[in-house]
Amino acid sequence: MTGVTPIPKPQYNWRDTLLSRQLGTRLPIMATGLQWLANAEYVAAAVDVGMMGFISAATFSDTSALRDEIQRCRELLNGRAFGVNVSMLPKLLPGDRTDEIMSLIVEERIAVVETSGRDPSPYVAGLKAGGCSLVHKVPQLRHALKAEAAGVDAVILVGAECGGHPGELPVGTMVQGALAARTLTIPFALGGGIATGEQIVAALALGASGVAIGTHFLVSDEIPAHAEYKRRLIEAQPGDTTLIMSSLRNSMRVLRNDTTAIVEALEGQGINDIQQLMPYVRGSLGKAAYASGDWRQGALSVGQGVGLTARNAPLADIVAELEAEADTALARLSNI
C-alpha cells in the first residue's frame, strides 16, 4: 500500500537477558561442570569469553585439592567471578561429601554454585547468606518448580538429548522449554543438545533466559583430554550416544563404546546390581580414557549435540562461532 510507512522491526539483543544480568556475564551461556575436565584453566577461559564457568567439585578427592583449584582459578581471572559445580546425584557407593563442599564454597565466597541430583533446599539459606547465587540443574519441570519454591536463583532444565543424566522419564529440550516458560517465574536456562547459535536463539524465543552447554565444549583446546578422544567426538554422529544404567534409576547418556555394549547386555539380562555394573561404570575408567584417548572404555558422558561438533579449536573461537550463528539467525528472522 502506497503512502504507508513500514513499522520498523524491533532490534533484539540476545546477549542481554535476565540470566546474563544475574550472573554478571556478557553472554547468557553457562559452561556447565564436567567431571575430571572442568578445571581452573577451562573455567577461566569460559569466563574470559563472557560465559559463566564451573569447576567440578567431584573431580577432587578432598576439599584441600578443591580449595587449591579455586585459588588457581581466582589467580587466572584476577579475582573475577566464577562458579563451582556440585553434583548431588544419589550416590551409588558411600562417601557423600556435599556438606563439606558447601561449607568450603561459602568460605571461599564463590559467586555462583551449580547443583544437581537432589533437592537443594538444605543448602539454599547458607549459600545465600554467604553471598552465593544458586543455579539448580534438573531433568524435569516438577523438579524445577520444587527448586523455585526452595528459593534458588535460577534453574537449568535439561532435555533428553543431554549428556550425563537426563532423568528417568526424559523429555526433549524443546518441549521442556515451552513447558517451563508457562510455569516458572525465575530465570531458567535450557540444556541438552545445544551446539549452535541458532539453538540459542530458539531457546530464548521459547522463553529461556539462557542456555547451558557441555558436550559442544569438550573439543575445545582448554579441555584437558587426549586428542584421540576429541577426534572421536568430532567424528561422532547424534546416534553415537546411548542411555545406560536405567536399571539403577540413574540413567546416563554416554558415548557408545565397548563398555556401553557390555553394560547394555548385562542390563538386558535383568542385572541391576551396582556391584556387578561398577567395574564398567566407575568414574576412574572415564578419567583414564580422557588421559589415554582410549574412548572405547568407560562411561563417557556425551550428549546428542555431539553430532553438531565439527572441529577442535580454542574455546574463544567456538564461542565466537556460536555468537555469529546467533546473529545470523536473528537477521534471518528479521527478513521473514
Please report, in tens digits, the pLDDT of each residue of the chain (336 residues total). Answer: 455 665 555 578 999 999 999 999 999 999 999 999 999 999 999 999 999 999 999 999 899 999 999 999 999 999 999 999 999 876 555 568 899 999 999 999 999 999 999 999 999 999 999 999 999 999 999 999 999 999 999 999 999 999 999 998 899 999 999 999 999 999 999 999 999 999 999 999 999 999 999 999 999 999 999 999 999 999 999 999 999 999 988 899 999 999 999 999 999 999 998 899 999 999 999 999 999 999 999 999 999 999 999 999 999 999 999 999 999 999 998 877
Count Cβ atoms within 10 A of the Cβ of residue 279 and give its class: 0-12 exposed, 13-18 middle, 19 or more buried. Answer: exposed
Residue 316 in domain: yes
Question: Cα separation of 138 and 189, whole Å?
Answer: 10
Residue 106 in domain: yes
Considering the domain architecture, whether residues 252 and 126 belong to the same structural domain is answered as no
With beta carbons less than 8 A apart as the criterion, state whether 274 and 93 touch.
yes
Considering the domain architecture, whether residues 101 and 218 belong to the same structural domain is answered as yes
- DSSP state, 323? H
Considering the domain architecture, whether residues 170 and 300 belong to the same structural domain is answered as no
Considering the domain architecture, whether residues 104 and 197 belong to the same structural domain is answered as yes
CATH of the domain at 107: 3.20.20.70
CA distances from 185 to 148, 153, 270 (A): 8, 10, 42
Considering the domain architecture, whether residues 152 and 108 belong to the same structural domain is answered as yes
Structural domains in the chain (count) = 2
With beta carbons less than 8 A apart as the criterion, state whether 114 and 84 touch.
yes
SS3 (DSSP) at 15: coil
Considering the domain architecture, whether residues 131 and 162 belong to the same structural domain is answered as yes
Considering the domain architecture, whether residues 92 and 151 belong to the same structural domain is answered as yes
Residue 1 in domain: no
Which domain, by its residues, includes 105?
Answer: 18-224+311-334
Residue 11 in domain: no
Considering the domain architecture, whether residues 301 and 315 belong to the same structural domain is answered as no
pTM over 0.85: yes
What's the distance, CA 141 to chain centroid?
17
With beta carbons less than 8 A apart as the criterion, state whether 252 and 321 touch.
no
CA-based Rg of the chain, rounded to a whole angstrom?
A: 20
* Backbone torsion region of residue 109, taken as left when φ is above 0, otherwise alpha when ψ lies between -120 and 50, otherwise beta: left
Considering the domain architecture, whether residues 25 and 81 belong to the same structural domain is answered as yes
Residue 8 in domain: no
Parallel, antiparallel, or unpaired: how do β-strands 241-244 and 252-255 relate? antiparallel
Considering the domain architecture, whether residues 176 and 42 belong to the same structural domain is answered as yes
Instruction: State the pLDDT at residue 249.
Output: 87
Considering the domain architecture, whether residues 192 and 318 belong to the same structural domain is answered as yes
Q: Which of 31, 17, 22 is nearest to 322 (CA)?
A: 31
